[in-house]
Amino acid sequence: MLAKIKETTEFIQKKINFTPEFGIILGTGLGGLVKEIEIIHQIKYQDIPNFPVSTVEGHQGNLIFGKIEGRNIVAMQGRFHFYEGYSMQEITLPIRVLKFLGIKYLFVSNASGGMNPDFEVGDLMIINDHINLFGTNPLIGKNIDELGPRFPDMSEAYDRKLIELALQAAKELGVNVKQGVYAGVSGPTFETPAEYKYIRAIGADAVGMSTVPEVIVARHMNLTCFALSVITDSGVPGQIIEITHTDVQEIAGKAEPQMAAIIKKMLNSL
C-alpha cells in the first residue's frame, strides 16, 4: 500500500508545484464550494494512478488544487464509498495521498438522515464524534508504522477548536447549526425504521454512508479533522417517509451555500 501511495503522490507532484495545507472532501452538500476556489491545477481521478473512480451520480471525479481565502487547498470533487465495491483501503487511499502532498487539516462534508428529534430536514450538523457501524475498519491489516500507530487514539477525532471556530462562523453568518454524533454505515440501503431507532438508541444523532473511514485514516496520520453534515431526511419515528438519492441531493443542494460560507469563514480565520 505504501508503494501505491508514494507512486500516486509522485505522479501528482510531477504535474504540479503546489503544497496544499487543507484537504477538503466535497461530499454531498459541499459541491458548491468549487465556485469559491481560485483553481490552479485540476486532475481527473481517472488520470491518477491507483485512484478509484466515483460511480455515484452527483459525485464528480476531480482533484482540484487552488486557493480559498488565500489558503492553499486541495479539494476532492467526488468521494468514494464502501458500497461502490471498493475496499476500505481503496476508498481511503486519496486521504493518504493528500497527507503525503502536505495537508495538515481535513475538512469533510456529507449528507445524512437525522434521528435526533430536535433536527429538521435541511439542518446543518457539525459532527462532534462518530460511531463506526461499517462492520470493518480501514486500518485492518498489517500496520504501516510510517503512516501512523497500530492503535490510534480516537478520543478527539473531530477537533474541538475547529468545532468552536465553526460555531463562531455560523453565528456570524446567522446560520443555525446543530451538533451531534454521526453513525457511519455501509449502505447502500437507507435504513429501515427499526434501524434508525437502533442507531439512535446507541447514541447517534445522524446516519450516513461515508466520512467514518476517511476520518479514521486521517486520524491514523494525525490530521486535524472537521466534518459538517446536512440532514437530508428524517429517521425520527413517525416522520420517516420514502426517500430517494434525488431527494437527498436536492435537499443537500439547498444547504450548499451555507455550508460553503461556513468553511470559507473558517479558512479565513485559521
Q: CB of 134 within 8 A of CB of 184?
A: yes
CB of 129 to ligand HPA, least distance (A): 17
Interhelix angle for 2-15 vs 88-101, to 10°?
A: 50
Choose between 112 and 128: whose C-beta lies nearer to ligand HPA. Answer: 112
Q: Which three cell numbers stand for residue 77?
A: 470533487
**Distance of alpha carbon 48 from alpha carbon 62, whole angstroms:** 10
**Distance of alpha carbon 63 from alpha carbon 48, whole angstroms:** 9
**Distance of alpha carbon 23 from alpha carbon 13, whole angstroms:** 16
CB of 242 to ligand HPA, least distance (A): 11
Q: Which of 104, 101, 62 is nearest to 79 (CA)?
A: 62
Choose between 207 and 218: whose C-beta lies nearer to ligand HPA. Answer: 207
CB of 79 to ligand HPA, least distance (A): 13
Choose between 77 and 211: whose C-beta lies nearer to ligand HPA. Answer: 211
CB of 191 to ligand HPA, least distance (A): 5
Contact residues for ligand HPA, defined by CB under 6 A: 111-113, 187, 190-191, 207-209, 232-233, 235, 248
Write the DSSP symbol of residue 205.
S
Choose between 168 and 249: whose C-beta lies nearer to ligand HPA. Answer: 249
Choose between 139 and 185: whose C-beta lies nearer to ligand HPA. Answer: 185
Q: Where are the beta strands (DSSP E) in 10-143?
A: 22-26, 38-44, 62-68, 71-77, 105-114, 124-132
CB of 171 to ligand HPA, least distance (A): 26
